[in-house]
Amino acid sequence: MTAASGAAASVAAAPWGADDPYADALRTGRGPLFLRRGDGWLLPLEVERWCAAADAVDLAVLERCEGAVLDVGCGPGRLVAALAARGRPALGIDISEAAVRHTVRRGGQALCRSVFERVPGEGRWDTLLLMDGNIGIGGDPRELLLRLARLTATGGLLVVETAPFDIDERIRVQVVHSSGPDGPAGSPFPWARLGTPALLRYARSTGWRAVGQWAEGRRCFAALRRRATGPAAEPAHGRAVISSQRAG
């Protein structure tokens, strides 16, 4: 099994069913919710912000988007819904059925799918979004960036929200409701945390070039463009089409 297929298997196996703590939090629209590492370390998850409408920082990111947009790990869909409300072609993908349902209720299009599985419009997306720490998906940032390069048109844009400090960490975590040791918890899955310096190091070897980085509202971002040549460069024809995505 390759690293990429291993990451895909790990993500697909993550228990994001109807009764997991994440789905419960989306139903209520509030936390507390955390990622818990094996040693008990906790990372708070911003459920209330994710379930609210896109804020000013989000909207500034969306202004940078070009053409058809794929939101990878769309969560409850605030960004997809905001793009749809502006008449912009956009699709969200997420492995949580609860998140996909939430996105659709908000007026966005979304599929319950791992980024490592077949995605509609492969090689034709103009912009990819990787927000809210989703560079951690699969626990292997290099393999994720290679996969994203295969989804994007040559010259396409990738906007990544990074940790607000210099970190390059690969861990196994659980989603938990409570900061205590005995609260409800999902099964462990691989995750990663990257600051901008680490992201840019991975980008250089995975078919991306940096075109911008900024911080706003205590959040940090980097913009990358897919190079015409590189480990993931493949020919693509046409542009991503949104109207029939839900059958993809």
Which has the closest alpha carbon to 101: 246, 241, 244, 242?
246
Q: What is the CATH number of the domain that holds 218?
A: 3.40.50.150
Neighbours of 172 (CB within 10 A): 14
Establish if 210 belongs to a structural domain. Answer: yes
The pLDDT tens digits for 134-161 are 999 999 999 999 999 999 999 999 999 9
Calculate mean pLDDT across residues 70-98: 97
Give the strand order in the sheet containing 189-194. Answer: 42-44, 34-37, 168-176, 189-194
Calculate mean pLDDT across residues 165-175: 96
The pLDDT tens digits for 86-135 are 999 999 999 999 999 999 999 999 999 999 999 999 999 999 999 999 99
pTM of the model: 0.88
Establish if 13 belongs to a structural domain. Answer: no
What 8-state DSSP symbol labels residue 23? H
Q: Contacts from 120-123 at CB under 8 Å and sequence distance 24+?
A: 120/91, 120/240, 120/241, 120/244, 120/245, 120/248, 121/68, 121/70, 121/91, 121/151, 121/239, 121/240, 121/241, 121/245, 121/248, 122/150, 122/151, 123/150, 123/151, 123/152, 123/153, 123/234, 123/235, 123/236
The single-letter code of the amino acid at 118 is R
Task: Give the HSE-up count for residue 211: Cα atoms under 13 Å, Cβ half-sphere.
Answer: 14
pLDDT at 4 exceeding the cut of 90: no
Predicted pLDDT at 8: 45
- CA atoms of 195 and 161, how far apart (whole Å): 9
Predicted pLDDT at 107: 97
| Residue given tokens 């990787």 in the structure block | 130
pLDDT at 248 exceeding the cut of 50: no
Establish if 134 belongs to a structural domain. Answer: yes
3-state secondary structure of 100: helix
Establish if 75 belongs to a structural domain. Answer: yes
Predicted pLDDT at 180: 62
Predicted pLDDT at 149: 97
Higher-confidence residue of 28 and 184: namely 28
Calculate mean pLDDT across residues 167-185: 83
Work out the pLDDT band at 177, boundaries 50, 70, 90. Answer: confident
The single-letter code of the amino acid at 136 is G
Establish if 93 belongs to a structural domain. Answer: yes
Tokens read off for 78: 């605030």
Work out the pLDDT band at 11, boundaries 50, 70, 90. Answer: very low
Establish if 227 belongs to a structural domain. Answer: yes
Tally of structural domains, the chain: 1
Establish if 3 belongs to a structural domain. Answer: no
Establish if 15 belongs to a structural domain. Answer: no
Which has the closest alpha carbon to 243: 112, 89, 83?
89
Which residue range is the domain that position 70 belongs to?
A: 54-171+191-247
Q: Contact 178/184 with Cβ under 8 angstroms?
A: yes
pLDDT at 14 exceeding the cut of 60: no
Q: Contact 164/215 with Cβ under 8 angstroms?
A: yes
